[in-house]
Amino acid sequence: MYKTSLISHFGASQTAIGVIFSIAIVMLGLSAAVGGTWVERNGPRKAMFVSACFWATGFLVGALGIATKQLWLVYLGYGVIGGIGLGIGYISPVSTLIKWFPDRPGLATGMAIMGFGGGALVASPLSRQLLSFYDPDYDPGNAASVASGGALVSLFLTLGVAYFLIMMFGVFNVRVPREGWKPEGWDPSTVAAKPMVTTASVSAANAIKTPTFWLLWVVLFCNVTAGIGILEQASPMIQDFFRENGTSTVAVAAAGGFVGLLSLFNMGGRFIWSSTSDLIGRKPIYMLYLGLGMVLYATLAAFGNLHTALFVLLAGVILSFYGGGFATVPAYLRDIFGTFQVGAIHGRLLTAWSAAGVAGPLIINGFLDAQGKPGTLTADAYRPALFTMVGVLAIGFIANLLVRPVPEKYHEPSRPADPVLAGTDAHGGKDV
């Protein structure tokens, strides 16, 4: 929401400013992978506090970079430091929620990850209004309007302080359940009877040695890469699909509304599809994401330009699968590897997100650059990229089919069976 203002302030290219956000996504995956085991050992409260410190510091360092016109400081602040905060914060609640809701892990993690995706719905309009408050000449309703450097500095300082205070609420309130706790009236044997749900414990170190982990890595990579194919070009894409004689029939404002609608589909998919996975299983739900996703991408490429309603519907469902893939994967990992170090395993798997964050834009932009200049493209220019995404999803579909339970040799022999099957009735939580 402030990319245009940053471009103007630094006199930089779109690519140079876009690198800021790419660095943040890469650092998210790397910090989640490296810090996952530390999060498991130290608990969610310490992890959330560290996340809040990094995230807020990232904005403060970014503000210094804007004030001094040193773009490298914005890379360091928002990109590197803020990205580390994102990664640690993203995985912090996962294993805790799975332990509190062993009966509905998909719903629990879906709610949390829905919040991550839905935050943009609040942050974007709030940031625009703050920019207009700090710079009266800035028009939040005009996508081409540019805020002053002083307004950007004030925005980053405000967000840094505000995010830290809000995140402290989670730090002071989060708890983990006591060993052996289970929801009253819930029968753990209903979970134990499912063939793709383990009762054993697998460490993060052993998990990455299994073929199953890397198959799930490919599954997440393919699902995210395909979703970014839509998300990366959402606004210009809908305009280009309905361009006749050099003029698009879709207004700029309508294209902006389409982006907001996709955010709702993305957020809703995180909750709806992950909750559905509790009923039909993780492997079947990913078969839906990837299998039906192939059909939707092919339909979008071939017939998406026939009517705007059809285009919006297809893109919306694709983005709901994109969000659902993020939200369901922690529960999938719990089923396969147990709850022992599921947060650490999840962190390592998120490197697939970092890789997809690079691969997705490269694929879509590589094809579009070869087709012509932005603002002159039509639906035909997108078809090679969209059909390529069909192939990417096909690879993910095959990888998901090959997912199998983890062999016993990777189980932790010194640990008892997962408490989810212990049948104890301990209640309450503890500070960690």
Q: Cα(337)–Cα(345) distance, rounded to whole angstroms? A: 8
> In degrees to the nearest 10, what's the CA dihedral of 236, 241, 242, 248?
30
Helix, coil or strand: residue 177: strand
* Three-state secondary-structure class, residue 102: coil
* pLDDT per residue as tens digits for the range 284-317: 999 999 999 999 999 999 999 999 999 999 999 9
Element (H, E) at 130: helix 105-134
Terminal Cα-to-Cα distance of the chain (whole angstroms): 37
Q: What is the pLDDT of residues 390-423, one digit of tens each?
A: 999 999 999 999 999 999 899 888 665 555 544 4
Range in 267-276, 338-347, 397-406 the model is least confident about: 338-347
Tokens of 159: 């967000």
Distance (Å, rounded) from C-alpha 189 to C-alpha 199? 10
pLDDT of 193 reads: 56
What's the rounded mean pLDDT across residues 23-52?
90
The CATH number of whichever domain residue 61 belongs to comes to 1.20.1250.20
Amino acid found at 395: I
- Reported pTM: 0.82
CB 143 within 8 A of CB 252: yes
- Mean pLDDT, the chain, integer: 87
Overall number of domains in the chain:
1
Domain span at 173: 3-430
What digits encode the pLDDT tens for the residues 66-79?
999 999 999 999 99
- C-beta of residue 27 within 8 angstroms of C-beta of residue 47: no
Phi/psi for 77 (5° steps) reads -70, -75
229 with 385: CB under 8 angstroms? yes
pLDDT for 421: 47
Q: Which position has the token pair 């983990």?
A: 176
Burial class (CB in 10 A: 0-12, 13-18, 19+), 190: exposed
